[in-house]
């Protein structure tokens, strides 16, 4: 208990750090993932190849290596002096985007072909088919996998702590450097992550219930 | 691609439009790559000396040692996680309520805590001088929990009659489990189990944070200890090490796909879980998505 009370400001900063890096990289992952999924289902071969390469590469690279790339290689290509927070969010977001992409793609693939054919046969345009028939159904199938992807992202954000981004793992490290017993530290950090992941799964369950329809 | 929900087979106008998109798209991608390469060349990262360092016997030896260290931890963690997975899965299906609860609590807790946190705690708390064992232990605990859920789903996917028939023959519970249920469960879940092993392999890179001299840690040491033209060869080292990692993971994934194809050919009546790709879930700390054809692991987190 003392560990938490004595070091509460640092813990609070770490917690806020975890929440904000999760939020920022979720947005990056979602946007990139949907775009890449669009590439992968598009009728344009080079874009499809690019999407496939993107997913294969990012999925088979350890996230830690990706962090190394973003902290040491990317600043050389883009402008140097980006903040660790931004670099960390980008690494996490890029990594997770490949999983989002696959979830979205399989969501689109689960919509029965007949649905779109029926829509076209009653004279709907492409945009109408997409907006009124395909996307609503795809979104519903995508929500459960997205939920576990974002929970995994929260857990992955711990690695950012090792790359000098302020978040909960950083607090664990700091406390063990200060010589506190590791078990209580571990429990508090774990609780911190549990709070974030519970909120995410709660939000997604809410979303799922609101979008539920009888099929 | 005529079987897509999104569009019909393209007509002449659409064909032209698609060609235009193809050209514009490839140009954009090529430009992106070109600009990156040019920027790196400007900073001197593509100079031959930067890549020459991999011709030194010392550095080659370092990398070989690191690959070995990575594989060693991976082997330990793979065995550890599979053993723990079987034990936890059986405990979760136990008839004794306390055992069931304990196993469920253990799985839920360690599955929802970031792996890095667990590894670090094990390292600082118990195995400070044995980073290899700390890494292996952390990986085993986390992946064991995930494997347990995979196995449980597999056991549940075995038709009920199989167990009942075995009991009717007078087999004991242990015999039913070891002789009838688990072999079928493993067979059904093999692709998912291997996918999770790919995740385990990727996660060995977390050893970098507890200073275990695995591939990534070695990469960082090489890059920060060698100076070429007044610069640290991060770009070349990361390119080489990254290639090794991707190759190792792709090999394991290919194994999973191969096994899945073999499993599909055999007509045993057991549904083989499909691997959607190399890894089912967001790698490092992910949970495998529910495999098709078998009830997915209960994801309560």
- Is B224 part of a structural domain of the chain? yes
pLDDT reported for residue B266 = 57
Report ipTM for this prediction: 0.83
Task: Identify which of B10, B36, B198 has the shortest CB distance to residue A43.
Answer: B10
Query: How many folded domains does chain B comprise?
Result: 1
Residue B228: φ, ψ to 5°: -120, 130
Residue B231: φ, ψ to 5°: -135, 160
Give the separation between CA B33 and CA B30, rounded to whole angstroms.
5
- Interface contact A169-B278, CB threshold 8 A: no
- Interface contact A68-B121, CB threshold 8 A: no
Q: Is A67 helix (H, G, I), strand (E, B) or coil?
A: helix
- Interface contact B223-A102, CB threshold 8 A: no
Task: Please report residues of A whose CB lies closer than 8 A to that of B14.
Answer: 43
- Interface contact A152-B36, CB threshold 8 A: no
- Interface contact B216-A64, CB threshold 8 A: yes
Residue of chain B whose Cα is closest to the Cα of A47: B25
How many percent of chain A have pLDDT more than 70?
Answer: 98
Please answer whether residues B26 and A46 qualify as being in contact, where contact means their C-beta atoms are separated by less than 8 angstroms: yes
Question: Block means of pLDDT (10 residues each) for chain A, length 215 residues?
Answer: 75 88 93 91 87 91 89 81 87 93 89 87 86 86 89 89 84 82 85 89 88 66
- Interface contact A64-B241, CB threshold 8 A: no
DSSP A215: -
pLDDT bin (cut points 50, 70, 90) of residue B269 is: low
pLDDT reported for residue B290 = 35
Which of B7-16, B18-27, B284-293 has the highest mean predicted lDDT (pLDDT)? B18-27
- Is B119 part of a structural domain of the chain? yes
Radius of gyration of chain A (CA): 20
Instruction: Spell out the long-range contacts of B103-107 with Cβ–Cβ below 8 A and sequence spacing 24 or more.
Output: B103/B148, B106/B145, B107/B145, B107/B148, B107/B149
- Interface contact A64-B205, CB threshold 8 A: yes
Give the separation between CA A168 and CA A166, rounded to whole angstroms.
7
Residue of chain B whose Cα is closest to the Cα of A69: B238
Residue of chain B whose Cα is closest to the Cα of A98: B282
Give the separation between CA B231 and CA A76, rounded to whole angstroms.
12
Interior angle at CA A92, CA A91 and CA A93, nearest 5:
95
- Closest chain B C-alpha to A57 CA, distance in angstroms: 7
Give the separation between CA A154 and CA A169, rounded to whole angstroms.
12
Please answer whether residues B217 and A47 qualify as being in contact, where contact means their C-beta atoms are separated by less than 8 angstroms: no
Span between the terminal Cα atoms of chain B, in Å: 37
Task: Identify which of A61, A151, A185 has the shortest CB distance to residue B246.
Answer: A61
- Closest chain A C-alpha to B98 CA, distance in angstroms: 23
CATH topology of domain A8-210: MetI-like fold (1.10.3720)
**How far lies B165's CA from each of B161, B179, B194, B226, in Å?**
6, 12, 30, 66
pLDDT bin (cut points 50, 70, 90) of residue B86 is: very high
Please answer whether residues B69 and B213 qualify as being in contact, where contact means their C-beta atoms are separated by less than 8 angstroms: yes
Residue of chain B whose Cα is closest to the Cα of A72: B234
Give the separation between CA B62 and CA A60, rounded to whole angstroms.
23
Give the separation between CA B32 and CA B176, rounded to whole angstroms.
59
C-alpha neighbours within 13 Å on the C-beta side of residue A52: 8
Task: Please report residues of A whose CB lies closer than 8 A to that of B289.
Answer: 145, 148
Strand partners, B231: B228
Give the separation between CA B137 and CA B139, rounded to whole angstroms.
5
pLDDT bin (cut points 50, 70, 90) of residue B148 is: very high
**Residues of B (177-216) whose Cβ lies below 8 Å from A:** 198, 202-206, 208-209, 216
- Interface contact B120-A96, CB threshold 8 A: no
Please answer whether residues B44 and B229 qualify as being in contact, where contact means their C-beta atoms are separated by less than 8 angstroms: yes
Percent of chain B as helix, strand, coil, to the nearest 5: 75, 0, 25
**A69-93 b/e with 16+ CB inside 10 Å = b?**
bbbbbbebbeeeeeeebebbbbbbb
Strand partners, B228: B231
Task: Give A122-148 as a DSSP string.
Answer: TT--HHHIIIIIIHHHHHHHHHHHHHH
Check if B29 contacts A (Cβ < 8 Å).
yes
Q: What is the pTM of this model?
A: 0.83
- Closest chain B C-alpha to A209 CA, distance in angstroms: 16
- Interface contact B4-A41, CB threshold 8 A: yes
Q: Which residue in B285, B277, B280 sits closest to B297, CA to CA?
A: B280
Task: Please report residues of A whose CB lies closer than 8 A to that of B115.
Answer: 155, 158
Please answer whether residues A91 and A68 qualify as being in contact, where contact means their C-beta atoms are separated by less than 8 angstroms: no
Task: Identify which of A65, A95, A189 has the shortest CB distance to residue B245.
Answer: A65
3-state SS string for A152-166:
HHHHHCHHHHHCCCC
pLDDT reported for residue B268 = 55
Give the separation between CA B291 and CA B272, rounded to whole angstroms.
9
Please answer whether residues A68 and A132 qualify as being in contact, where contact means their C-beta atoms are separated by less than 8 angstroms: no
Query: What is the residue range of B59's domain?
Result: 53-263
- What residues contact A61, with CB distance under 8 A and at least 6 apart? A95, B202, B242, B245, B246, B249
pLDDT reported for residue B301 = 34
- What residues contact A94, with CB distance under 8 A and at least 6 apart? A28, A29, A32, A58, A66, A70
């Amino acid at each position: 208990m003392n560990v938490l009370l004595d070091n509460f400001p640092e813990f609070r900063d770490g917690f806020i750090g975890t929440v904000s890096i999760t939020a920022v990289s979720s947005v990056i992952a979602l946007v990139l993932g949907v775009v890449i999924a669009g590439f992968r289902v598009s009728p344009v071969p080079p874009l499809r190849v690019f999407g496939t390469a993107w997913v294969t590469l990012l999925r088979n690279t350890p996230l830690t290596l990706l962090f190394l790339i973003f902290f040491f290689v990317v600043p050389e290509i883009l402008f140097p002096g980006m903040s660790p927070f931004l670099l960390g969010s980008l690494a996490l977001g890029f990594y997770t985007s490949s999983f989002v992409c696959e979830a979205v793609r399989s969501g689109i693939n689960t919509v029965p072909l007949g649905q779109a054919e029926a829509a076209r046969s009653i004279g709907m345009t492409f945009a109408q088919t997409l907006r009124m028939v395909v996307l609503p159904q795809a979104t519903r199938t995508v929500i459960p996998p997205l939920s576990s992807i974002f929970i995994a992202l929260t857990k992955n954000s711990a690695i950012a702590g090792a790359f000098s981004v302020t978040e909960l793992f950083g607090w664990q490290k700091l406390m063990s450097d200060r010589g506190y017993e590791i078990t209580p530290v571990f429990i508090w950090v774990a609780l911190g992550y549990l709070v974030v992941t519970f909120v995410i799964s709660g939000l997604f369950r809410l979303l799922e219930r609101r979008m539920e329809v009888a099929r | 691609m005529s079987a897509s929900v999104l569009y019909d087979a393209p007509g002449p106008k659409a064909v032209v439009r698609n060609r235009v998109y193809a050209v514009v798209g490839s140009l954009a991608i090529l430009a992106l790559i070109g600009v990156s390469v040019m920027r790196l060349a400007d900073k001197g990262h593509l100079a031959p000396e930067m890549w020459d360092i991999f011709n030194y016997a010392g550095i080659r030896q370092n990398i070989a040692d690191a690959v070995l260290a990575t594989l060693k931890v991976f082997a330990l963690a793979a065995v550890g996680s599979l053993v723990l997975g079987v034990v936890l899965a059986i405990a979760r299906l136990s008839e004794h309520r306390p055992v069931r609860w304990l196993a469920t609590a253990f799985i839920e807790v360690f599955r929802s805590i970031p792996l890095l946190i667990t590894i670090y705690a094990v390292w600082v708390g118990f195995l400070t001088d044995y980073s290899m064992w700390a890494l292996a232990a952390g990986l085993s605990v986390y992946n064991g929990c995930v494997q347990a859920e995979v196995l449980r789903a597999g056991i549940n996917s075995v038709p009920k009659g199989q167990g009942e028939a075995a009991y009717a023959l007078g087999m004991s519970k242990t015999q039913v489990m070891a002789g009838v249920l688990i072999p079928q469960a493993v067979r059904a879940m093999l692709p998912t189990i291997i996918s999770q092993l790919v995740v385990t392999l990727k996660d060995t890179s977390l050893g970098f944070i507890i200073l275990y001299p695995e591939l990534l840690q070695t990469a960082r040491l090489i890059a920060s200890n060698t100076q070429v033209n007044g610069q640290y060869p991060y770009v070349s080292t990361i390119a080489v090490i990254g290639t090794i990692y991707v190759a190792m993971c792709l090999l394991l994934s290919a194994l999973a796909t191969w096994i899945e194809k073999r499993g599909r050919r055999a007509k045993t009546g057991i549904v083989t879980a499909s691997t959607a790709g190399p890894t089912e879930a967001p790698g490092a700390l992910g949970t495998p998505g529910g495999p098709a054809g078998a009830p997915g692991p209960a994801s309560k987190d």
